[in-house]
Amino acid sequence: MKVLVGVKRVVDPNVKVRVKADGSGVETANIKMAINPFCEIAVEQAVRMKEAGIVTEILVVTVGLPQCQETLRTAMAMGADRGILVETDVDVQPLAVAKVMKAIIAKENPQLVIMGKQAVDNDCNQTGQMVAALMGWPQATHISKVEPAGDHAEVTREVDGGLETLTIKLPAVVTADLRLNEPRYVTLPNIMKAKKKPLEVIKPDALGVDVTPRLTTLKVVEPAKRGSGVKLADVAELVNKLKNEAKVI
Amino acid sequence: MAILVIAEHDNKQLKTGTTNTIAAAAKLGADISVLVAGHQCAEAAAAAGKVPGVTKVLVADAAHYVVPLAENMAALVVSIADKFTHILAPATGFGKNFMPRVAALLDVAQISDISGIESADTFVRPIYAGNVLATVQSKDKIKVITVRITAFDPSTAAAGTAGSENVAVVADSGLTQFKGHELTKSARPELSAARVIVSGGRGMGSGENFKILEALADKLGAAVGASRAAVDSGFVTNDYQVGQTGKIVAPELYIAVGISGAIQHLAGMKDSKVIVAINKDAEAPIFSVANYWLVEDLFKAVPELTAAL
């Protein structure tokens, strides 16, 4: 079975982001970037399925700036076989990415698409669902387990209040949640090996996809800070404050 | 303008997020229809008709809507979408699952997790774990929106009396089959609806130790939550997780115990009215958002607090 994994390059989640002085966006120049953590989990899942003999080939795809090649190399160092960068300097939004994915799926015919449930920059949580919609495929978002079996897969989803199990027909799109797996660390020999793996760069036009953003960001600001609190001496003082000052108990 | 809100419910009652979403819709200033898709869901539909601000309830009752599978929900919403300019659902596990599917089928952008409404086409939404607020404008003909439920309080106006009508159901997609639920059984309130939340982090040390939080929670009538670190460490299951990629909460009182306060956790709780932090590390970043904090060993302070209440 062939698997396609979508990945995104984001600001490293451990970096505190700053709003640009003109309020037009978030400062990303000279900031440490990383593979989106949920995309990393998606790659890991594909690699584990290949190691288990279920998957034969892992294709990893991203959309964005030339630097996104680094993200593909990271995925290939983890074990993906080859990569495609759909290169554009447009700030691509989920619907555009989904259309790019659809065009690539049409050429590559994967049986399963694995993506992260959300990217930790724009926190949209949309792209996997949109790919499934455009393909007319089933979807399973926020999964903590996936077991393909013939023409279908058994999946467990993280839902509010617990877990949900579904049987989905293949081909399908699934999106990874936190507990699906714990991604491996990439080793130096694997980083070297990944440099020799095939990486194709194409433009959205070549796929016939219009990636023009649909939403316009008018401004970005930092939220209001919370007022500073007070350190208390002991539990008795805390109970007193909660009862008499905050009046919440 | 005409607004459609997709109700989250269990066929009997509305989930709390539905009323918050209707409150957000009311800010747009147009007629609000509420879609109740379910099976034997008359009770939920009746409840929707009573929510202040609702003009009409649309009911789609069929066996395959007994659980809201994304493929079926999206097909149903799309089948009636052309009558509306705005389609809203709560940004809970429910809405996050099928709304992007609706948007893609309509070839429009989705505006995720809005926390503010500036006008009929301009919305505020948190990005980067809530460290940045973006104001975005949509020129699409239909605005598909998920709503951060903690950002909109339910209306306190008198109950409404909206009538209901049936809408044609769309055949089961057959793509996905529901097998079962394994829901955390708890007598405590749900995280997203709780007035008080007691949350534990890596400092709890084990799942077993969460018992001391549960005792405190039971005294306060509180829900129990956790940081991602506690979920990662296997102390509790993922449905406890409060944070950027877990649940977003804003209770009256949030007690963070043994939680250092990574930005991903703060993203999920910093809009709480009163925040209490208990941590033995005097430098823990959680203190930067806390109203009150104690630098103490949680294994001493928490039982003391429970006893003092």
* Nearest one of B249, B130, B142 to B196, comparing CA atoms: B249
The pLDDT of residue B14: 96
Report, as an integer, the average pLDDT of B237-242: 93
**Rounded (5°) CA angle B256-B261-B267:** 95
Coil, strand or helix at A226: coil
Q: What integer best gives the mean pLDDT of chain B?
A: 96
Find the CATH number of the domain harbouring A74.
3.40.50.620
A227 has pLDDT over 90: no
Q: What angle do CA A130, A131, A133 make, to 5 degrees?
A: 60
Residues in chain B, total: 309
> What's the first-to-final CA gap in chain B, in angstroms?
51
Residue A129 has its nearest CB partner, among B67, B101, B273, at: B101
Assembly ipTM? 0.95
Nearest to B128 among A26, A134, A246 (CB): A26
pLDDT at B306: 97
Give me chain A's average pLDDT, please.
96
Residues from chain B that touch A223, judged by Cβ atoms under 8 A, are 126, 130-133
- State the amino acid at position B182 in one-letter form: E
State yes or no: pLDDT of B193 exceeds 90.
Answer: no
Considering the domain boundaries, does residue A249 fall inside one? no
Q: Read off the pTM.
A: 0.94
Q: Which domain holds residue A74?
A: 2-244
- Number of cross-chain residue pairs from A and B with Cβ atoms under 8 Å apart: 254
Contact state of B98 with A129 under an 8 Å Cβ cutoff:
yes
- Confidence band, pLDDT 50/70/90 cuts, at residue A225: confident
% of chain B at pLDDT higher than 70: 100
**Section B276-300 average pLDDT:** 96
Asked if residue B16 has pLDDT above 90, the reply is: no
Stronger pLDDT, A249 or A151, i.e. the higher one:
A151
pLDDT at A29 over 90: no
CA distances to A35, A41, A132 from A57, in Å: 21, 17, 20
Instruction: Return d(Cα A3, Cα A43) in angstroms, integer.
Output: 10
For residue A66, the model assigns a pLDDT of 97
Question: What span, in angstroms and rounded, lies between the C-alpha atoms of A118 and A8?
Answer: 10
User: Residue B189 and residue B224: Cα distance in Å, rounded?
Assistant: 9
Q: Half-sphere exposure of B150 toward its Cβ, with a 13 Å CA cutoff?
A: 21
Q: Which of A116-125, A227-236, B60-69, B74-83 has the lowest mean pLDDT?
A: A227-236
Backbone region of residue B130 per phi and psi (left: phi > 0; alpha: psi in -120 to 50; beta: other values): left
Percent of chain B clearing pLDDT 90 (strictly above): 93
Asked if B263 and A231 come within 8 Å (Cβ–Cβ), the reply is: no
pLDDT digits (tens, 9 = 90+) for A83-141: 999 999 999 999 999 999 999 999 999 999 999 999 999 999 999 999 999 999 999 99
Contact A242 B292 (CB under 8 A): yes
Asked whether residue B295 carries a pLDDT value surpassing 90, the answer given is yes
Tokens 């982001």 -> residue: A17
Does residue A220 carry a pLDDT above 90?
Answer: yes
Q: Is the pLDDT of residue B105 over 90?
A: yes
Going by C-alpha positions, the residue among B187, B237, B213, B235 that lies closest to residue B303 is B213
**Residues of A in Cβ contact (< 8 Å) with B253:** 242, 246, 248-249
The helix (run of H) or strand (run of E) holding residue A35 is strand A33-35
How many folded domains does chain A comprise? Answer: 1
Residue A147's pLDDT is 97
What are the two backbone dihedrals, phi and then psi, of residue B25, each rounded to the nearest 5 degrees?
Answer: -60, -35
Selected residue with higher pLDDT from B113 and A179: B113
Q: Of the candidates B216, B213, B224, B212, which has an alpha carbon nearest to the alpha carbon of residue B187?
A: B224
Q: What pLDDT does residue B133 have?
A: 96
Which string of DSSP letters, residue by residue, matches A88-110? Answer: --S---HHHHHHHHHHHHHHH--
Residues belonging to chain A: 249
pLDDT of residue B184: 82
Strands (E), A54-138: 57-64, 82-87, 112-116
Nearest CA in chain A to B253: A248
3-class DSSP state for residue A149? strand
Residue bearing the bigger pLDDT, A108 or B246 = A108
Query: Are A139 and B179 within 8 A, CB to CB?
Result: no
* Mean of pLDDT values over B75-86: 98
**Interchain contact, A218 vs B137, CB within 8 Å:** yes
* Cβ-defined contact of B133 to A94 (cutoff 8 Å): no
B187 Cβ contact list (under 8 Å, min separation 6): none
Report the pLDDT value the prediction gives residue B192, as an integer from 0 to 100: 85
Indicate whether A120 belongs to any domain: yes
Query: Average pLDDT, stretch B300-308?
Result: 97
Mutate to test the interface with B, among A40, A157, A214 (most CBs of B within 10 A): A214
Which B positions 39-68 lie with beta carbon below 8 A of chain A?
A: 67
Task: Judge whether A171 and A179 are in contact, CB under 8 Å.
Answer: no
* pLDDT one-digit tens code per residue, B121-132: 999 999 999 999
What is the pLDDT averaged over residues B32-56?
97
With an 8 Å Cβ cutoff, are A124 and B294 in contact?
A: no
Q: Is the pLDDT of residue B201 over 90?
A: yes
